[in-house]
Structure 1
Amino acid sequence: MIAQALSCVCVFPVVVFLAAALTLVALYMRKTYSYWESRGVRGPKPFWFIGNMYPRLRATQSMSEYDQVMYENHGGKMYCGYYEFMNPCLMVGHPELLKHVMVKDFDHFTDRSFVTFNEPVMDHMLLGLKGGMWKAVRSVMTPTFSSGKIKQTLQLVKDCARNLSTYFEQELDKRSSFEMKEVYGMFTMDTIASIAFGVSSDSLNNTQNEFSAAAAQFFSPMPKWKRPFMFLQFLWPHIAKKLHLNVINRTPIQFFSKVVADTMRYRIENKLRRSDFLQLLLDAQQQEATNNNKTPDASPSKKVSEQVLTELVITAQCVLFYIAGYDTTATTLSFVSYCLALHPGVQQRCMDEVERVLAAHEGEITYEALTEMTYLDMVFAETLRLYPPAPRVDRTVTKPFTLPGTDLTLRKGMKVTIPIYSIHRDPNHYPEPNKFDPERFSPENKSSRSQMVYLPFGSGPRNCIGMRFALMEAKVAIVYLLQDFAFIPSKKTQVPITIEKRSGLLKAQDGVWVRLAKRS
């Protein structure tokens, strides 16, 4: 009896402590998940600890489907609140509000909510830089993506596109149907290797080369055991940074870094030049150093601190060029081929335009010739409307901001998401939104819509810096192919396309299959 009494006495404080702890947790969760409700903001009902992330954690919905539910059912067409685990986030879909977030009041939304990788090269990419560092690197890099500078890389892109056409011609003796994303991925890899790294990878003919191997490593699925650590990086980046947590595969990063460093050193030592992206960055670095030296009162230490384009920063932008350009451009090309295959009348009109424009330029694909292919540009725009490679973008609130026309104030550090895919498929902006119709992007139709309802490259100061180059590269490839081949649906062509659910980018679950036929 005494033992039982003592046992009860010992257990009682533990029970009280656990009850108190659970009560505190419950109160904390209640307060956390009442953030939007207390402010009168609509949104889906959250679950403790995971918020509204269950469909993404279990991959029951693709990113585009996930956003579509909030856009259609929870007020996202204007704005709605949701929770990424325990962090309140705001989805904004109304064009006028988007104009404030992305353009007019950009100084309140200068950063992206990009994860900290704790890897120097990855953390110095323009995509994830923040504040003054982002502004400095962006201002130095912007001139390298001007029309004049992009023209300098055209011949290198044409060389790779010619190899692509040759590849298809040789392969047609063995097969007629292709998974287009895979083939275009080899083309974009060769293009980026040539333009960003200054080397020839020729992955169309040699799939075992070093660049192909590095790409396979970089884009391979993350092991399951690493995924919880990745979520930790997203949820509590400051903790991940202190713990030096890094879940990415460093091997391909080290490979790319070595290629850039060796190429830079070789060119500087031998005073060699090449019309590529790396050379443009080297020239910008030299110009920056010259401008710094012209400052009469600048001490040596100040000059070093003002140097933006260091070797690390240049390497990071070359890696970013690879990451951003390899997958998204290949995806765009595969969907353009798919849309042309399903719409032979549109494809024929593109072929006629290509022949007409090239005849006026003595058969040569020039930068000016590409700009004159207005219908082809409409086809690309409509494809990117239906299949934007990035179905959403985001901004981070860097200064408190009150949404115009509301009393809702967004606090510093909050994430704002922009559902590009859902905006592009909104019938209020695009009647019959699932229909492929390039005429939507005729000059007359474009002028009747807000610019904020077409966002495949984002908008405002933080839009995609490589937009011009990506479109030029993709158009050169399609122009080369349309001269010799026709795109035709195959038995494997999926209508409609099923979107991969695990990826954050827009990808076809079973690939984009199209048949090619040699034009007579």
Structure 2
Amino acid sequence: MWPQACVITALVLYFSLTILPLYRNYVVARKVGLPIIISPVNPLGVFWLLLGVRFIPLIRLLPNRLSLWTHCTEYGGGFNDRTAIHKRVGPVFMHVNPAWNELVVADATSAASILNRRKDFIKPQIFYERLNVFGSNVDTVEGDDWQRQRKLTAPCFNEKTSKGVWDIASNQAKSMVEHNMSLFDTSTNSLQDDSRTIAMNVLVGIGFGIMQDFLTGQKKVDPGYSMSYVDSLRTIIRNILFTFIFPHKVLLYGFMPRALRKVGIAIAEFGRYNHELLAKERDAIQHEQQAVRNNLLSTLVRSSDAEDSKTGKKQGLSEEEILGNMFIFSLAGHDTTANTITFAIGLLAVHPEWQTWIQEELDYVFGAKAGGEYEDAFSKLKRCQAVVFETLRLWGSVPFIVKSTGAEAQPLELPFGAPGSAYRQCILSPNTMIHINLPALHISPENWGSDSLTFRPSRWIQTGGSVLPTDSALPKDLESERLITPRAGEFIPWAMGPRNCLGMKFAQVEAVSVLSTVFKSARVKPSLAPELRTGQYDLSDGRLSRKLAMEVLKERRVEVTITIARPHDLWLKWEMREG
């Protein structure tokens, strides 16, 4: 009897926890009138988060109509599918699963409307509450609390910050180039590691005033700690998914695997380090040492401790909120920028004509000088900015933006049918999730033309009143060039509207600083791995190395963000630029 009872119990639980909620959600979704894809699993269930990646390849052996749902439940799946699923079911559709209904959007007008309506479409706490590892922050709160935190965190990102980012990133990139040039074999496979080192050093330098050398970094482990400040931060960032699955205190339990306990230790020690840094900042400010301590943490402390002009009271972020915001700045500003730098340099290596294109601009702006100051250079480097934008368009690190209708139903104008179809108003029920598919938006032929999958940075440049065509001759007067502004919703790697990313300028300045420093003095081209450098290949013919490099760039995986799956298979040769 026991086996039968267990089977019956399992069936009852499955029916009550999966089938009934799925049916209820389906009934609600049908009222919207959009195409529907049904998934039998909760995308955020622990089982699916841990084991889904193993089951998906097996499920996709089934006919497409039986496996299509896996593209909606695979984290980052939209990056690989891009517009494929939307070609089958339309630019917007409903994804129904046992946990919720989800509107999937690949329409620029709809996306812009959603992101501009901050109070109607909010950030769902089920996705963001786990990011409150050290305290709530501007990225996870809503309503009046968000307005308060936004007001107090915005001063961290100003022109003085941008100048600091420019200087540190330039120095780091210069050290990277010099190191790669000094090697006996100037072919390296460390681009992703180098980019992450630069991003981390910029982050802790600007964020906390901790300056690090590119080669050695700050490896000092303070007394009472088991890892350095930087190592603890890096460990958290590299394993952030586990903080979504497990409460961070659970990670410290003795029964947890060693790798997970290390994450728990990193969280605990990073918190202790930050409490100490915060105490030092407050002490420095009290002793009027602001002039020598100008970083994001000190700015946040001063902004938080300032008195409101009307009430005379401190505007106040709590200590936990200050540390929570510093953590979210670190999380948001590391992998995304590092990946952008990695892909941008890799793509320029594969497409040397675009290296020549930006080097013409660098020579025009800097002349014989190795580089320039932020105030004079950044706004003039339009082609370098175009490379960053085109990289993010095709190889963006963030696969989607998540919103929710919250506790109330919300009206929304949506296209019903193929791209270009007429819009009509629909009513989204309370607690409907919204998934804005960034990769599909960013490569849509309707938005970007018939060559939307082609890496062509000149599409971002306008001169003489028209966008440069693919085969255009380079203009002689670079002063006439202007960056175009896409239509609202077509290009949103940093989101848009009231809740766009605070660090957008930070990321742009860092990436442009690195690219301008690297390519002012160097040429980078794909190289073959050492085992392939044999007599059977013509090493003077770069077609094979470019082909292999592009294959590596196209093969990506999900970590914190979308990144290269086989980074150490990307071999690049660094050469001093002639002339």
TM-score in same-fold range (> 0.5): yes
Aligned to 1:258: 272
- Pick which of 183-192 and 40-49 moved more: 40-49
Tell me if structure 2 keeps the 8 A contact 1:256–1:319.
Answer: no
1:9-408 equivalences in 2 (<5 Å)? 26-47=19-40, 58=55, 60=57, 62-63=76-77, 64-65=79-80, 68-75=83-90, 77=91, 79-103=92-116, 105-113=117-125, 115=127, 121-170=133-182, 172-202=183-213, 204-206=215-217, 208=219, 210-221=228-239, 230=245, 249-270=263-284, 271=287, 272=289, 273-287=292-306, 290-291=307-308, 295=311, 303=313, 307=316, 309-359=317-367, 363-398=371-406, 399-404=408-413, 405-408=423-426
Deviation for aligned residue 1:470 = 0.8
Deviation for aligned residue 1:152 = 4.9
Aligned to 2:566: 510
Tell me if structure 2 keeps the 8 A contact 1:358–1:365.
Answer: no
Residue aligned with 1:452, SS: coil
Query: What is the alpha-carbon distance in structure 2 between the residues aligned to residue 215 and residue 72 of structure 1?
Result: 41
Tell me if structure 1 keeps the 8 A contact 2:397–2:561.
Answer: yes
Query: What is the alpha-carbon distance in structure 2 between the residues aligned to residue 160 and residue 72 of structure 1?
Result: 43
Query: What is the alpha-carbon distance in structure 2 between the residues aligned to residue 251 and residue 509 of structure 1?
Result: 27
Deviation for aligned residue 1:363 = 4.7
Tell me if structure 2 keeps the 8 A contact 1:44–1:70.
Answer: no
Query: What is the alpha-carbon distance in structure 2 between the residues aligned to residue 368 and residue 123 of structure 1?
Result: 38
Change (3 A) 1:126 1:84: farther
Query: What is the alpha-carbon distance in structure 1 between the residues aligned to residue 335 and residue 153 of structure 2?
Result: 22
Aligned to 1:475: 512
Equivalent residue letter for 2:565:
Q
Query: What is the alpha-carbon distance in structure 1 between the residues aligned to residue 7 and residue 369 of structure 2?
Result: 85
1:426-437 equivalences in 2 (<5 Å)? 426-431=444-449, 432-437=451-456
Deviation for aligned residue 1:101 = 0.4
- Pick which of 172-181 and 357-366 moved more: 357-366
Query: What is the alpha-carbon distance in structure 2 between the residues aligned to residue 311 and residue 29 of structure 1?
Result: 42
Deviation for aligned residue 1:514 = 2.8
Aligned to 1:491: 528
Tell me if structure 1 keeps the 8 A contact 2:21–2:99.
Answer: no
Query: What is the alpha-carbon distance in structure 1 between the residues aligned to residue 319 and residue 240 of structure 2?
Result: 29
Cα displacement string for residues 359-416 of structure 1 (whole angstroms, at most 9, x for unaligned residues)? 3989523233111011111111111111111021111223421112435212332211
Change (3 A) 1:57 1:140: farther
Change (3 A) 1:87 1:517: same
Tell me if structure 1 keeps the 8 A contact 2:409–2:428.
Answer: yes
Instruction: Report the count of equivalent residues.
Output: 482
Residue aligned with 2:574, SS: strand
Query: What is the alpha-carbon distance in structure 2 between the residues aligned to residue 507 and residue 248 of structure 1?
Result: 23
Deviation for aligned residue 1:216 = 4.5
Change (3 A) 1:425 1:268: same
Change (3 A) 1:479 1:83: same
Equivalent residue letter for 2:378:
L
Residue aligned with 1:389, SS: coil
Q: Percent identity?
A: 18
Query: What is the alpha-carbon distance in structure 2 between the residues aligned to residue 24 and residue 364 of structure 1?
Result: 65
Deviation for aligned residue 1:441 = 0.8
Deviation for aligned residue 1:317 = 1.9
Change (3 A) 1:221 1:369: closer
Change (3 A) 1:30 1:212: same
Tell me if structure 2 keeps the 8 A contact 1:111–1:131.
Answer: no
- The structure 2 residue matched to 1:460, chosen from 472, 476, 497, is 497
Query: What is the alpha-carbon distance in structure 2 between the residues aligned to residue 159 and residue 51 of structure 1?
Result: 41
Query: What is the alpha-carbon distance in structure 2 between the residues aligned to residue 265 and residue 48 of structure 1?
Result: 46
- Pick which of 264-273 and 440-449 moved more: 440-449
Equivalent residue letter for 2:550:
V
Deviation for aligned residue 1:357 = 0.7
Residue aligned with 1:275, SS: coil
- The structure 2 residue matched to 1:412, chosen from 411, 416, 430, is 430
Query: What is the alpha-carbon distance in structure 1 between the residues aligned to residue 8 and residue 275 of structure 2?
Result: 62
Aligned to 1:439: 458
Cα displacement string for residues 4-53 of structure 1 (whole angstroms, at most 9, x for unaligned residues)? xxx9xx99999999998887675554333443235422132332666997
Cα displacement string for residues 79-99 of structure 1 (whole angstroms, at most 9, x for unaligned residues)? 111135531111122222112
Query: What is the alpha-carbon distance in structure 2 between the residues aligned to residue 13 and residue 98 of structure 1?
Result: 49
- Pick which of 23-32 and 434-443 moved more: 23-32
Residue aligned with 1:80, SS: strand
Deviation for aligned residue 1:68 = 3.9
Residue aligned with 2:572, SS: strand
Query: What is the alpha-carbon distance in structure 1 between the residues aligned to residue 549 and residue 148 of structure 2?
Result: 45
Residue aligned with 1:429, SS: helix
User: Normalising to structure 2: TM-score of the pair?
Assistant: 0.73
Residue aligned with 2:489, SS: helix
